[in-house]
Structures are given as structure tokens and as C-alpha cells.
Amino acid sequence: MKKVGLLGGTFDPPHYGHLMIAEEVFQALKLDEVWFIPSYEPPHKEKSNTSAEDRVSMLSEAIADNDHFFLNKIEVERLGKSYTVDTIKILQETSPDTIFYFIIGADMVEYLPNWYKINELIEIIQFVGVKRSNYKLNTSYPIIEVDIPEFEVSSTMIRNRLREGKSIRYLVPEQVYKVIRERHLYGSK
């Protein structure tokens, strides 16, 4: 069986926190690949102001230099709210020879009780939780915990820094910053 980690997210924009947790879980669980799944519309927050097309372009640049990272566009092609339970069912149907692991940060671990059809979801997918500043990994759900170096970066922080004219160098890959500049995203000049 092939072992594949899934990192779902809004990626608005993608940053080194995303890449680092994917690589750490890849190594710790001896995965074959990690698939990055940008959501079309996040289930639990306001729809992003950044188009799915722009988020996909940034993500594709972010993972380009890693031969075991792949982009999966299942959610942006499905449109509507991107519920994980729907995504997992389709992936399992289309890749029956693969075991999936869904990677989430501690903020999403805390939020798990509120996920759509969580009782069904928890039966069909193995969650992998990683720590994140200000959130707890404690949960009664059966998650695998992977220890990572804590890195306090978020897409919100990147958007705020750009708005304030602060540098985001070393927080996002240079290629992601290039797309941000070229497309004037987040108010960048």
C-alpha cells in the first residue's frame, strides 16, 4: 500500500510553516508522498478574497522543488464548501491502493468536534496532529501526534505584514513572493 499524507488548507498564501509540517510528517511516518489540497471555500471561515486560481498558482510554486510533494485540485474543481469528509471519500474511491493521513495543526485539532460529519470522518481517515503556538494538541479523538519544531507563522501574519509594508522574506518561498508581487496580491505594490 502507498502511504500518502494530505495537507488541506486555504493557503492564502502558502508559507514555510505549511512546507515544514508536511516534510516533518513525511519523514516521521515514512510516507511516499504528500498531497497539498487547496480548499475552494473553507468550511469554517469566510470565503477568501484571494481567488482559487491565485492560491493554486502560489501553492504550485511553493512545492515545485520537492519531488514528493504534489498539488491535488479536487476541492477547487468541486467548487462550493470544501468538506473534508467529501474529499476523503472520493480520494479513497479513486485510489484504493493508498492509505491516507490527514495532517492538521493544533488549531484544527481543537476545532475537530465542529467538523462536518466528524463521527463519520474519524472512522474513515487517520488524522495526524502537529503543535502550533497557543493551541493544545489534547483531544479525545484518536490522532497520531508528530513532534515538529514550533514555527509561529500563519497566512494571517503574512497578509498583515504585507499590508504594513513589512518583509516576508524567509517566511514564504521566494517564488511565492514573486507571484504575490506580480499579481499585486494582498495590497502589494
Ligand X SMILES: Nc1ncnc2c1ncn2[C@@H]1O[C@H](COP(=O)(O)OP(=O)(O)OP(=O)(O)O)[C@@H](O)[C@H]1O
Ligand Y SMILES: O=C(O)c1ccc[n+]([C@@H]2O[C@H](COP(=O)([O-])O)[C@@H](O)[C@H]2O)c1
The residues of the shown chain that bind ligand Y, judged by CB under 6 A, are 8-10, 37, 39, 42-45, 82-85, 104, 108, 111, 115-116
Residue from 63, 153, 171, 176 touching ligand X (CB under 6 A): that is 153
Q: Which is nearer to ligand X, 86 or 127 (CB)?
A: 127
Contact flags string 54-93 toward ligand X, x per CB under 6 A: ----------------------------------------
Q: Could you tell which of ligand X, ligand Y, none binds residue 84, using a CB distance below 5 to 8 A set by kind?
A: ligand Y
Tell whether residue 155 is a contact of ligand X (CB under 6 A). Answer: yes
Per-residue 3-state assignment (H helix, E strand, C coil) for the chain? CEEEEEEEECCCCCCHHHHHHHHHHHHHCCCCEEEEEECCECCCCCCCCCCHHHHHHHHHHHHCCCCCEEECCHHHHHCCECCHHHHHHHHHHHCCCEEEEEEEEHHHHHHHHHCCCHHHHHHHCEEEEECCCCCCCCCCCCCEEECCCCCCCCHHHHHHHHHCCCCCECCECHHHHHHHHHCCHHHCC
Q: Which of residues 5-44 bind ligand X (CB under 6 A)?
A: 9-12, 17-18, 21
Q: Is residue 108 a contact residue for ligand X (CB under 6 A)?
A: yes
